[in-house]
Structure formats: structure tokens, C-alpha cells
Amino acid sequence: MPWQRVFDQSVAAMAILDLQGRYLYVNEAMCRLLGYSAEELHGLNFRDVTHPEDVDEGPLEGDSVLEKRYVRSDGAVIFVLLSRSVIRDPHGRPQYLLSQAQDITARREAELLWQRSFANAPIGMALLDLKGVWTAVNDTLCRMLGYTREEMLTKSFGDVTYPEDEEQGLAALADLLEGRKDTISLEKRYRHKDGHPIWVLIRSTTVPGADGLPAYLVSQYEDMGEQRLVDAHLAHLALHDPLTGLANRALLSDRLDHGLQQLARGNGVLVVIVADLDRLKPVNDRYGHALGDRMLTIVAEELLSAVRSGDTVARLGGDEFVVVSLLWDRQSAVELRNRIAARLDTRVLVSGVEIQLRASVGYATTDDPSTKPEDLLHAADRDMYLRKRRHRRESGDLPER
């Protein structure tokens, strides 16, 4: 019969079974797959060659596609993708089953190897979607960050990244997704569930889909340990004021240079605001330097509350503070100066003592990227001193000229 020639010559392993699961007709490809002759398979139930853990005892009257294991005549176990179709008589009644099997052992063994390597890796491993959301994580990564697997799978990497490190993470993700890099490696801080920072070395790569475009990410995470925290602390001390934690002169210089570079791209105006406390020395003389230091930290907190997260707040020593901000226009610069002046003109409670906080606040702006940083600082400083003299005249501390 014509169908038998097609059946016998098919490279796919095929068989016809009765409704009880007994082989009635098998082709040569099925014999090679299972290692039996056609005579040996004839009358044998497919359950006899199925792995005991995968035996299907349900009814065989419906079409189905499933993965399962067969045991060959030599005892070897193979994985197959099995497709069953019902052959019906002219009245629609089930008569036979057509079974087609594809050997997927190599694929399944590779998947199992990956799954075991992923689960048991001594470093953190994860799969992420293209938005950076974790879709699979191993136990090592969960332990590293202190979250359960269920908690991790509700988060993206951005949810546990320190704000200061978020930009480099997003830039690295964009490099991968836009094809500029095949693999990225970066160091960044993650926040442990209990709040402490963890420095992590991250290596990520994209896995392409059928269309050749990135489908998901594979990432590895290594805890860099306490030494990295010590190094980071020392680096922080080199660029920050030890009393207030604000930027110091070295970091301020860098942020000024960066702001002027941004102006070259047509980004608004750069404003520098200088604030000088008017009453630090009397406080130190009357209450001691410990209380004066506490007042300086309160000023730092007020300044940080008055600016945006991307702005720079620095202490240049003594009672002088500087703010650097890239704004849309000069009116925004005036509003920021006024907001800071208002923040620093109030009564505060310092270690149980109520003190009048007051400062002279000057500013300068530029939209010219060729402006020298020292000139911009000098202009803001000069404006601050003019306002300080005005305050003194208004308070009677300085005679009119």
C-alpha cells in the first residue's frame, strides 16, 4: 500500500498502535530508535519500553505531544519527543494511534547539565529579561543578597542597586541590548536585604532568540568581599569631607568639569552656589567645637534636602559650602539659590540647644562650556560676600560707607 512505502521510508520513527498501546506496525526508524526488530516490537505494549517513572496509564484516545524516556533493548535510556494522533473510522470512532518519536537525548542532557551547573554554581547566577528583571536565580545569589527565590523573582537588578551605581548598570545593559558589546563586566554595589552594601563583580551576556536578536540575559555574580568595601571607604575618604560626608574640593573640581562638558551638548545653564555660615565662630566659642561640628552636619543635611539627587554638594572646609547644579535656565538657578537661602535661615535644635541658623548665599551661572571652573567659583564667592556685607549693614554690624 502507498502509505506503507511512505511510512517505511520515513526518517522519523513512526508506529501504529491499537487503543491499548500495543505496537501493530513499526517502521525501520522506530526499530533503530528502540534497538528492537519489528518482530520483537510487534504486539509489545509501548509501556514495556517506557521508563518506569514516565509510564502513562491514562486513556490513549486523544491527540497529545509530550516528552518522556524510553529504555532501549540494550538498557540505555533515551529522551524522546512523542507525538500521538488518533486514527478514526469513517464514523469518527477511534481505531488506532499513530505515534511519532524524535530522539532529544542530547538536548535534554545539555539542559540538565545547564540546570545542575546553574543550581550548584559556587557563584551567583541568574537569568534576566531584557528589562533587567530576574526570571531565574540560584541559591548562591539568594544567599548573597539575603532574599528568598520568590522575593528575588519579583525584583529587577535596579531594585537592589545603590542609586549612585544605577547609571553604569543601565549603560551596560544598553551596550548589550544594542549590540555594542557581547559581554560586559562591571563592579557595583547591591544592597543586602538587611540594608548593608555588597560589592559585586557582575559578568553578563545576551542569549539570542530565533530571530538572532537578544532574548534574555545570563549573569554571574561574585561577592568581592570586605576588602572591596575597605578600598571603597578609602576612596570615599579621598573625595569626601570626613565630618559631613559631602564632596571635598577634589571631587567638586571633577563635578564642575563634568558640568561644563554637559553644557557643550546644549544642556541649559550651570549654576554654582556658595553658602557661608554667619554664626559658626560664636557657636564654637560659646558651646564648644563638638556642638559646632554638629551644626555643620545639620547644614549639610539641609543642603542635601534642598537639591536634586544628581546635584553636587561640597564643603570646602570651615563654614563654606558649595552646590553645583545643571539647570534648564537662569530663573531656575535663582529659585535654587533662594530655596537654599531659606533652608539656611531658620532656628534649629543642636544637641539640645536652640540656635539661629543663618548664612550668606551667593551664586553665579554660565551657559558657556569654555568658562573656567575657578572663574565660576570666584564669581559665586564674590556674590556671596556682597550679600554678607549687605546682611551686616542691615543688622548694624557694619557701618554704611
Q: Are 271 and 336 in contact (CB under 8 A)?
A: yes
Q: Which residue is catalytic, options 319, 345, 375, 397?
A: 319
Is 319 among the residues known to form the active site? yes
**Amino acid sitting at position 206:** T
SS (H, E, C) 310-353: CCEEEECCCCEEEEEEEECCHHHHHHHHHHHHHHCCEEEEECCE
Q: How far is CA 378 from CA 44, 78, 254, 344, in A?
A: 96, 79, 17, 21
- DSSP letter for 48, please: G
The cell numbers describing 167, all together, are 547609571
Q: Which of 152, 131, 115, 127 is nearest to 207 (CA)?
A: 127
Q: Are 220 and 124 in contact (CB under 8 A)?
A: yes
Distance CA 337, CA 331 (A): 10
Q: Are 233 and 353 in contact (CB under 8 A)?
A: no
Angle at 242 between CA 239 and CA 248, to 5 degrees: 35
Q: Are 333 and 365 in contact (CB under 8 A)?
A: yes
Q: Are 351 and 294 in contact (CB under 8 A)?
A: yes
Distance CA 128, CA 137 (A): 9
The cell numbers describing 333, all together, are 538657578
Residues with active-site annotation: 319
